[in-house]
Amino acid sequence: MTVARPGLNQREEAPPGEAGAGPTVARILLGTRLRRLREEARISREDAGAAIRSSASKISRMELGRTAIKARDLTDLLALYGVGDEAERESMRALSRHGSVSGWWQDYGDAVPAWVKPYLGLEQAARLIRSYDVQLVSGLLQTPGYARAVFSLPGGSPGERAERQLAVRMRRQEILHRAEPPRLWAVIDEGALRRPVGGTAVMRAQLEHLLEISQLRHVNIQVLPFRAGGHAAGGGPVTLLRFAGDQLPDVVYLEQLTSAIYPSSPADLACYWDMLNQLAAEADPPIASIMILDQIRREL
């Protein structure tokens, strides 16, 4: 399957100094800077909230990047924290402007649940995407036919909403075809590859797509075969995002049926990184995995 490389979206123009950052990342970067400034100034969240005619909880949401920061609030906080350098102030104003725009996924309405939106914004900015999938092929690697079959499973969405979900999934995949794409390192359980979602023809096309896209130098696909026995992962899919530089920590995303969990403690992040390393060690290497994919395809 060939996906056109995306052009620049005027609503998502990156702010100076943060090239490629989406609005979600811009809010997190700005919030992180503001938290450091507040702590260096030894000002409590309560006092910071009072300075912008609000509350400590709003300051907390701002610092976590969960809400956009209005220009007036930013100006008041920078004055409170004693930030006088104009270049630094402008850099933070640019992040505020960028963090206030809508991500492209907002155009798809209820096809994107609220608990998915933070992940989509972060996925767009990741430099490394690692995943383990046990029941279904990773969304970034699904063909339209396979994805449509997934959305049609019992408990899935009705026709029109499912088509909008499909459009979102295909839009996400454009990051793999950018001029500077992230590295995708996916471990897929053999069970997900032998489960004929959508029927034989759909599954064969999906396997052919995996064989094709695995030829991209930034895509690494490994198959965890049945013969590997028990392994470190739990029952559901795991995705870990890593970003360029050291301003953002890793993000772990655990998708569930009607929600998602974002473990964020340093201990949790280290645990999931180690788990993905162990799965990669237990899975067949990429060349052998290509042979497994081809074998399963021929058996259909």
Tell me: do 68 and 200 sit in the same domain.
no
Q: Tens digit of pLDDT per residue, the chain (300 long)?
A: 333 333 333 333 333 334 345 788 889 899 999 999 999 999 999 999 999 999 999 999 999 888 889 999 999 999 999 999 999 999 999 999 988 888 888 889 888 998 898 899 899 889 999 999 999 999 999 999 999 999 988 877 768 889 999 999 999 999 999 999 999 999 999 999 999 999 999 999 999 999 999 999 999 999 999 998 877 776 789 999 999 877 788 999 999 888 899 998 999 999 999 999 999 999 999 999 999 999 999 999
Q: Are residue 135 and residue 243 in the same domain, yes or no?
A: yes
Tell me: do 222 and 142 sit in the same domain.
Answer: yes
Q: Is residue 67 part of a domain?
A: yes
Select from 99, 133, 151 the last residue of a domain.
Answer: 99
> What is this structure's pTM?
0.82
223 in a structural domain: yes
The answer on 230 and 166 residing in a single domain is: yes
Do residues 54 and 167 share a domain?
Answer: no
Domain that holds residue 198: 104-299
Q: Is the same domain home to 186 and 85?
A: no
For residue 81, the domain's CATH number is 1.10.260.40
Assess if residue 9 is contained within a domain: no
Locate tokens 């104009």: which residue?
A: 86
Hey, what amino acid is at 121?
G
Q: Residues 78, 207: one domain?
A: no
Please indicate, yes or no, whether residues 146 and 271 belong to a single structural domain of this protein: yes
The answer to whether residues 199 and 264 belong to one domain is: yes
Residue 36 in any domain: the answer is: yes
Residue-level pLDDT at 282: 94
User: The CATH number of the domain where 269 resides is what?
Assistant: 3.30.870
Q: Is residue 14 part of a domain?
A: no
Q: Are 146 and 35 members of one domain? A: no
- Number of structural domains found in the chain: 2
Decide which of 79, 99, 119 is a domain's last residue: 99
Residues 116, 256 within the same domain? yes
Residue after which a domain boundary falls, among 36, 64, 99:
99
Same domain (yes/no): 48, 154 = no
